[in-house]
Structure 1
């Protein structure tokens, strides 16, 4: 697979606001790409475009036919149902037979340590547990391309570590491609192989993780340099 995702000159406009300006992006299978930048820089918009949730105003988006993708949002919406059925419904709507969906859902819950809460209401879980449940549902769908929008931003430190550990195990155990946004630069260092810096809807830096954090960026990418120094964002 040459590219799991390709964006060519993509722009997105909401009324008078340009959320993305001429973005070009190609992702190869197995890459783990982090989107960084200040609030309003276009990270969430880019993720939603990549997942087919937003139409572009101009440009083109293509996803390889072999790609099966899933997205986990910053604050997953919990259905008014049990933890188990929250996962089962996703599989069933995808076409998985009901009995098989239950088996796969329990396996996914075990993977994130929620098997003992299978019959609890999904809406009664803590924030960290809800994020793990959202990951379980994505896991159960067996995607090879996963998109994550600030997956740990609203969690306490313990829950952040747990969710990040699960993500690290996921990418280590398969060739899953990962596109995620994060304000946590330590998390970016630990999970990403490539970093894209966005500002006002434009891609101003697209570098390997090592280059982004270890190479002097003052002359080549001044905006990203200021962001890393904490002077932007």
Structure 2
């Protein structure tokens, strides 16, 4: 199967000599969404930023193939004091894209065409996250990184975002996402990467991971035990 692929080789990241991630070796291939899970402090958000190249690794490297453009969505959307449409236009301008037709198309994708001229920061939390998602999708990325994008949303807003992500994945956009919600991972993930104490404990197809986890850490995590 052709499409975006990421490869981590000896990947590590330290702050003040303290390793947050160390010795990560894995490949993320094209296809269904890849979910990075693990207890708090496992290094999920840091790993996502390394893969998106927002942070330089302390050790190792991230290699990629088949990726023309990529985008990232954060837990709390950062929106400008402008209209919804102007927020998307600004992102397109920064990327050097002069195609205003992408703005209504992106808003249609997230179900918000009627809010194009509303001040973005006055929208509800769920609507703001969908604006941020529209802004990312307007770039037409090959790979989309998402850092717990529904963590602060109510169930209805979460379902709306998940539906958008499912449609996005079906169009061939590779999704790499962190979450603390195992039910969400069961609903959306094609594969699971489990982090614990800055190390990759297990990587497996989602169905295999949830039905027969191979590692003791994964078994404990799925039981709800606190990993030591």
TM-score past 0.5 threshold? yes
RMSD: 1.4
Whether contact under 8 Å (2:4, 2:142) holds in the other structure is no
- Residues 32 and 193 in structure 1, CA contact (< 8 A), matched pair in contact too: yes
Instruction: Report the Cα offset of residue 191 of structure 1.
Output: 1.1
The number of aligned residues is 226
Superposed displacement of residue 170, structure 1: 1.2
2:78 is aligned to 77
Q: Secondary structure of the equivalent of 1:12? A: strand
Structure 1 residues 11-90: aligned runs within 5 Å = 11-64=12-65, 66-90=67-91
Which structure 2 segments of 5+ residues have no match?
none
Equivalent residue number for residue 153 of structure 2: 155
* Structure 1 residues 186 and 203, CA gap change in structure 2 (3 angstroms): same
In the alignment, which residue of structure 1 is the partner of 2:92?
A: 91
Distance 1:155 1:2, change over 3 A: closer
Q: Is the 8 A contact 1:150 1:182 kept in 2?
A: yes
- Tell me what 2:196 maps to: 199
Corresponding residue for 1:180?
Answer: 177
Is the contact made by 1:4 and 1:67 (CA closer than 8 Å) also made in structure 2?
no
Task: Give the C-alpha shift of residue 17 in structure 1.
Answer: 2.2
Q: Which whole-Å CA distance do the structure 2 matches of 1:198 and 1:67 have between them? A: 27
TM-score scaled to structure 2, two decimals?
Answer: 0.95
Shift of 1:120: 1.3
Alignment of 1:222 onto 2:216: yes
Q: Is the 8 A contact 1:3 1:26 kept in 2?
A: no
C-alpha displacement of 1:3: 5.9
Q: How far apart in 2 are the matches of 1:126 and 1:3?
A: 33
User: Residues 11-45 of structure 1: CA distance to partner in whole angstroms, max 9, x if unpaired?
Assistant: 10011321101111211122421001011101000
Find the residue that maps to 2:221 and give its secondary structure: helix
**Residue-by-residue CA offset, 1:43-102 (whole Å, 9 max, x unaligned):** 0000000001001111011122543211111111111111001011111111122xx22x
Match of 1:189 in 2: 186
SS of residue matched to 2:14: strand
Q: Contact conserved, 1:80 with 1:121, CA < 8 A, in 2?
A: yes
Give the TM-score taking structure 1 as reference length. Answer: 0.93
For structure 1, list consecutive stretches of 5 or more residues without a partner in the other structure.
none
Cα deviations by residue, 1:132-168 (Å, 9 ceiling, x for unpaired):
0111011111111111000111001110111111111
Asked if structure 2 preserves the Cα contact closer than 8 Å seen for 1:69 and 1:143, the reply is yes
